[in-house]
Amino acid sequence: MRALGETWYQRDRPFISDDSAFRNAFGPVKVTPHAEGVAATLDWYRHNAA
């Protein structure tokens, strides 16, 4: 509970990710839509579960 005050910024605003360094190093990339990525991940786990 003590650290909650120090980390509250992680909960009170959206995260902003800057991928400009990655794109500068590797060029343009295809971004997978969230729903498509989740569906593909679930499908993989359903077929590869140990």
Residues 19-47 have pLDDT tens digits of: 999 999 999 999 899 999 999 999 999 99
Full-model pTM? 0.49
Per-residue pLDDT band at 49 (split at 50, 70, 90)? confident
In the block, tokens 């993989």 appear at 44
Give the phi and the psi of residue 48 in degrees, each rounded to 5: -125, 15
Rg (CA), the chain: 17
Torsional class of 27: left (φ above 0), alpha (ψ -120 to 50), beta (otherwise): left
